Amino acid sequence: MGLFDRIRQGLKKTSQVLNTDVRDLFKSEGRLIDEDFLDDLRAILFKTDMGYDPTEELVAEVAKNMRGRVVHMTDVIDVLKTKLKELMAQDESPITYAASGPTVIMVCGVNGAGKTTSIAKLACMFKGQGKSVVLGAGDTFRAAAVEQLGIWADRLGVECVKGPEGSHPATVAYQAVEYALNNNIEVCIVDTAGRLQTQKNLMSELTKIRDSIRKQIPEAPHEALLVLDATTGQNGISQANNFAEAAGCTGIVLAKLDGTAKGGVVVAIRQQIGLPVKYIGFGEQHEDLVLFNPDKFVDEMFDEELGG
Amino acid sequence: MFESLQDGLSSAFKSLRGQGKLSESNMRDGLKLVERSLLEADVSFEVARHFMRNVTEKAIGEKVLKSLNPQQQVVGIVYEELKELMGPVDHSLHLKNKKDVTVLMMCGLQGAGKTTTCGKLGKLLKDGQRNPMLVAADLQRPAAIDQLHVLGEQLGIPVYSDRQEKDPVKVCNDAVKAAKKQGADVVILDTAGRLHIDDELMKQLERIDKQCHPEQIYLTVDAMTGQDAVNSAKAFNEALEIDGVIITKLDGDARGGAALSVKHVTGVPIKFMGTGEKLDALEQFHPERMAQRILGQGDILSLFETA
Ligand SMILES: Nc1nc2c(ncn2[C@@H]2O[C@H](COP(=O)(O)OP(=O)(O)OP(=O)(O)O)[C@@H](O)[C@H]2O)c(=O)[nH]1
Ligand SMILES: Nc1nc2c(ncn2[C@@H]2O[C@H](COP(=O)(O)OP(=O)(O)OP(=O)(O)O)[C@@H](O)[C@H]2O)c(=O)[nH]1
Ligand SMILES: [Mg+2]
Ligand SMILES: [Mg+2]
């Protein structure tokens, strides 16, 4: 399967919800846009987790343009697509590399979101671009987290810096950066333990890890990525807010888009916090990652061949 | 967004004071706010709708009580209804006699907290004078077996694993046999995370179910889950007829509306709440606490304080 096909496969269920569900609203040739229709539409949109306000905004947009008219499905979908693209609008936001020396990327997020796996995917992408990579096993807390990252490093054939047991994560991060500097490695990715954004101590630990990275490279980390689980609901906004503050996040990796979840919380995050979505993850394998493009993403959501 | 449901309701219900009865029309604004609050707590859209219909029916015709503000009265009705739906409680693990081996099975989406919860249940059982054994049936996630071994070591609980075996069904089968020999009386199967739309992996769970006859199958649900919670819970329940739900990561600030959705679509009891990464962070599920949380913490408490 080619890359494009894999993404489509991964997003199949995503598009089904919007496309098939919207299509179901149209019995035959067209439908009168009345309150019943708008209410059904509201339900479909809300189920993407985009949140209350964006849903109402989309419904209002359809109402404004079409209320009282009999329209075809494609007309409604066009309105939705245009508005969704507007709500999500951002440029593609690939990794920003250091002008010289290693590019350091710190990865953070709540427990089980998909951080470690996303690191493997990023490392695979960099390797594919011919860059050298080192991983820093900065999750010194969770059972076998170091082993997990180590296995990925072995599979991908990249180095992994591990501290002795009980090391402080800031120390491991420091050592990983040091390794990258000493060995002319181009990209250094530092894993961190999962933490909930309400845990003050653990959140300030992220700040410490960041500061420790800066000791050797003042402008690092060049990227601090927040990994967000696509099945997350409205809590994603609180996550984005707090991680952005504690770790200075530069963007989001949206993981687990291969389920039935729509990751609509990204709409709310784009609206309220403005962090760009950099990459999307759609599987458990190291090649299941692509650069996020909102226009393409919205098109895929409504792709006819996929949904039907 | 409003600060608190209670504040929003106070203004929505201002006009209600002095009217004799709660009616659909005089409650409309207030109930819209309640619905919005449920949606913001990640209760599924359909479940919220269904719930609001019930609440409206219950509230209509109730006399406005002199002792309460109308908004307090409506929130009270909402709270009672939520509490009721979240119950009944059943914290029992339905263990067989110690002479038999009871099999418990954990399932759920990737990263929900299955492995950690296996450890927590193991601790609970050990503290209750049982001899649990953890089974590493996740042969998929890198270092999943190691993860379970670390937990077992921390707890002093044996862990069954077979690093050569490729079939998790066989691992589970062998583990149950091994448990009988080793004198373990409860076996906890830690399965790999999977998507509910992954037919092949869902069938694998069904095979484990058919061959190992777990006494109880628990679905682990992340408290931060959004609208999709209904879809995955429905699918796991259809495949396995789950016996209970464990909501994890409730130590954060997620309002946890997924709990209501999952309860609604599966009808099985919510057994426990995970409230931390440590292995003692497992609490019995309390419907009233969950109801408070979904409505926005503090709202209900303040209601009863002022009432
Ligand atoms: N289906 C699917 N599963 C994923 C994806 N990304 C990660 N996972 C799975 O989600 C689970 C958790 O992933 P991890 O990468 O360990 O998550 P983490 O954020 O590092 O977790 P902690 O370090 O424990 O906080 C694993 O079972 C992964 O295989 C994805 O894009 N799709
Ligand atoms: N804060 C908090 N973290 C939890 C809780 N339960 C589990 N975790 C964390 O969530 C992450 C994922 O937990 P696991 O037990 O590995 O999840 P899993 O479902 O086994 O994951 P897979 O096997 O990859 O599908 C880990 O970082 C755990 O420490 C909880 O109740 N609270
Ligand atoms: Mg990790
Ligand atoms: Mg696990």
Q: For residue B35, give the 3-state DSSP assignment.
A: helix
Q: Final residue of a domain: which of A60, A87, A114?
A: A87
Distance CA B193, CA B155 (A): 23
pLDDT digits (tens, 9 = 90+) for A51-97: 999 999 999 999 999 999 999 888 998 999 999 999 999 999 999 99
Which of A143, A194, A265 lies nearest to residue B147, judging by beta carbons?
Answer: A143
| Encoded tokens for B25 | 């029309």
Statement to judge: residues A79 and A107 lie in one domain: no
Q: Looking at residue B124, what DSSP letter applies?
A: H
Residues B49-70: tens digit of each pLDDT: 999 999 998 888 787 776 677 7
Cα(A236) to ligand 2 centroid in Å equals 17
The amino acid at A25: L
Q: Whose CA is nearest to atom 24 of ligand 1?
A: A112
The total of other beta-carbon atoms located within 10 Å of residue A9's CB is: 15
Q: Determine the Cα–Cα distance for residues B118 and B137; give it in Å rounded to an integer.
A: 12
Quick one: which of B7, B50, B227, B257 has its CA closest to A55?
Answer: B227
Q: How far is A74 from chain B (nearest CA, A)?
A: 25
- Which tops the pLDDT comparison, B162 or A260? B162
Q: List the one residue out of B147, B145, B118, B120 whose CA is nearest residue B134.
A: B118
Amino acid at B8: G
Q: Is there a single domain that holds both residue A126 and residue A210?
A: yes
Look at residue B6 in the predicted model and tell me its pLDDT: 64
Same domain, A69 and A209: no
Residue A236, token pair as written in the block: 């994603």
Q: Tell me, yes or no, whether A97 lies in a domain.
A: no
Using CB atoms and an 8 Å cut-off, which of residues 61-100 of chain A contact chain B? Answer: none
Q: What is the mean pLDDT of residues B139-161?
A: 98
pLDDT tens for each residue of A249-300: 999 999 999 888 888 888 988 999 889 999 999 999 999 999 999 998 888 7
Residue B299 has what pLDDT? 54
Residue that terminates a domain, selected from A61, A87, A113 = A87
- CA angle A129–A130–A135, rounded 5-degree value: 95
Domain assignment of residue A35, yes or no: yes
Is the minimum CB–CB distance between A229 and chain B shorter than 8 Å? yes
Do A267 and A122 share a domain, yes or no? yes
User: DSSP letter string over chain A?
Assistant: --HHHHHHHHHHHHHHHHHHHHHHT--SS-EE--HHHHHHHHHHHHTTT--HHHHHHHHHHHHHHHTTSEE-HHHHHHHHHHHHHHHH------PPPPSSS-EEEEEE-STTSSHHHHHHHHHHHHHHTT--EEEE----SSTTHHHHHHHHHHHHT-EEE-PPTT--HHHHHHHHHHHHHHTT-SEEEE------TT-HHHHHHHHHHHHHHHTT-TT--SEEEEEEETTB-THHHHHHHHHHHHH---EEEEE-TTSS---THHHHHHHHT-PPEEEEE-SSSTT-EEE--HHHHHHHHT-HHHH-
Pick the residue whose CA is nearest to atom 21 on ligand 2. Answer: B111
Mean pLDDT of B67-84: 82
Number of domains in chain A: 2
Q: Say if residue A21 is in the same domain as residue A152.
A: no
> Would you say A95 and A103 are in contact if contact means Cβ atoms under 8 Å apart?
yes
Together in a domain, A115 and A229: yes
Q: Is residue A227 part of a domain?
A: yes
Q: What is the pLDDT at residue B307?
A: 41
The Cα angle at residue B208 between residues B207 and B212, in degrees rounded to 5 = 120
DSSP 8-class letter at B191:
E
> Which residues of A fall within a CB distance of 8 Å from B50?
none
The confidence score (pLDDT) of residue A1 equals: 45
Bond from prior residue into A221 cis (ω within 30 degrees of 0): yes
Question: Which residues contact residue B175 at a Cβ distance below 8 angstroms, ignoring those fewer than 6 apart?
Answer: B133, B135, B137, B160, B187, B189
Give the lowest-confidence range in A19-23, A116-120, A206-210, B75-79: A19-23
What burial class does residue B125 get, using C-beta atoms within 10 Å of its C-beta: 0-12 exposed, 13-18 middle, 19+ buried?
buried
Q: Is the pLDDT of residue B86 over 90?
A: yes
3-state secondary structure of B247: strand
- pLDDT for residue A4 is more than 60: no
Give the phi and the psi of residue A243 in degrees, each rounded to 5.
Answer: -70, -35
Residue span of the structural domain in which A255 resides? 103-292
- Estimate to the nearest angstrom the gap between the alpha carbon of A236 and the chain centroid: 11
Q: Cα of A207 to ligand 1 centre, how many Å?
A: 23
Number of neighbouring beta carbons within 10 Å of residue A151? 18
- CB-CB neighbours of A35 under 10 Å: 9
Quick one: pLDDT at residue B12? Answer: 67
- Compute the average pLDDT of residues B220-249: 97
Q: Determine the pLDDT at residue B46.
A: 94
Residue A202 CB coordination number (10 Å): 17
Q: What is the CATH number of the domain that holds A175?
A: 3.40.50.300
Interchain CB distance below 8 Å, A260 and B44: no
CA-nearest residue, atom 30 of ligand 1: A256
B243 or A11, higher pLDDT = B243
Confidence at residue A11, expressed as pLDDT on a 0 to 100 scale: 59
Choose among A51, A112, A284: nearest Cβ to B113.
Answer: A112
Q: Say if A272 falls within a structural domain.
A: yes
- Residue A216 domain-assigned? yes
Residue A219 lies in a domain: yes
| pLDDT band (50, 70, 90) for residue A308 | very low
Which atom of ligand 2 is nearest to B281's Cα? 31
Q: What is the distance, to the nearest Å, from the Cα of residue B2 to the centroid of all Cα atoms in its chain?
A: 27
Query: Which of A192, A195, A234 should we substitute to test contact with B (largest number of B Cβ atoms within 10 Å)?
Result: A234
User: Domain ends where: A55, A87, A119?
Assistant: A87
Q: Smallest CA–CA separation between A272 and chain B, in Å?
A: 12
In a domain, A303, yes or no: no
Q: Tell me, yes or no, if A20 comes closer than 8 A to chain B by beta carbon.
A: no
The residues facing A107 across adjacent strands are A225
Mutation to test the B interface, candidates A111, A116, A135, A154, most B Cβ within 10 Å = A111
Residue A176 reports pLDDT greater than 90: yes
The percentage of chain A sitting over the pLDDT mark of 70, rounded to a whole number, equals 91
Find the range with the poorest average confidence among A88-92, A165-169, B96-100, B225-229: A165-169
Angle between helix axes A73-88 and A294-301 (nearest 10 degrees) is 150
Neighbours of A163 (CB within 10 A): 20
Same domain, yes or no, for A115 and A174? yes
Tens digit of each residue's pLDDT (9 = 90 or more) over B20-44:
677 777 788 888 888 998 999 999 9
| Closest Cα in chain B, distance from residue A212 (Å) | 25
Return binding residues of A for GTP. 109-116, 191-195
Whether B142 and A145 have beta carbons less than 8 Å apart is answered as no
Q: Rounded CA gap, A43 and A39, in Å?
A: 6
Same domain, A193 and A238: yes
Residue A286 placed within a domain: yes
Question: For residue A251, which amino acid is it?
Answer: G
Please count the residues of chain B: 307
Radius of gyration of chain B (CA): 22
B266-302 per-position pLDDT tens digit: 999 999 999 999 999 999 999 999 998 998 855 555 5
Confidence of residue A165 (pLDDT cuts 50, 70, 90): confident
Question: Does residue A224 share a domain with residue A122?
Answer: yes
What is the pLDDT at residue A261? 82
Compare CB distances from A52 to B36, B226, B232 and report the shortest one's residue: B36
- Same domain? A14 vs A147: no
Query: What ipTM was reported for this prediction?
Result: 0.94
The answer to whether B250 and B275 are in contact (CB under 8 A) is yes
Nearest residue of chain A to residue B278 (CA atoms):
A142
Question: If you average pLDDT over every residue of chain A, what do you get?
Answer: 91
**A201 and A130 part of one domain:** yes
Q: Over the stretch B185-204, which tens digit does the pLDDT of each residue have?
A: 999 999 999 999 999 999 99
For residue B132, give the 3-state DSSP assignment: strand
Which CATH number belongs to the domain containing residue A60 in this structure?
1.20.120.140
Q: Judge whether residue B244 has pLDDT over 50.
A: yes
Do A55 and A196 lie in one domain? The reply is: no
Q: Cβ separation of A259 and B232 shorter than 8 Å?
A: yes
Tokens found for residue A4 = 């494009």
Q: Dihedrals φ, ψ of A301, to 5°? A: -60, -30
- Specify the pLDDT at position B65: 74
Place of tokens 């077996």: B145
- Interval A192-245: pLDDT, tens: 999 999 999 999 999 999 999 999 999 999 999 999 999 999 999 999 999 999
pLDDT surpasses 50 at B2: no
pLDDT-derived band at B100 (thresholds 50, 70, 90) equals: very high
Please name the residue that has the structure tokens 């000791």: A215
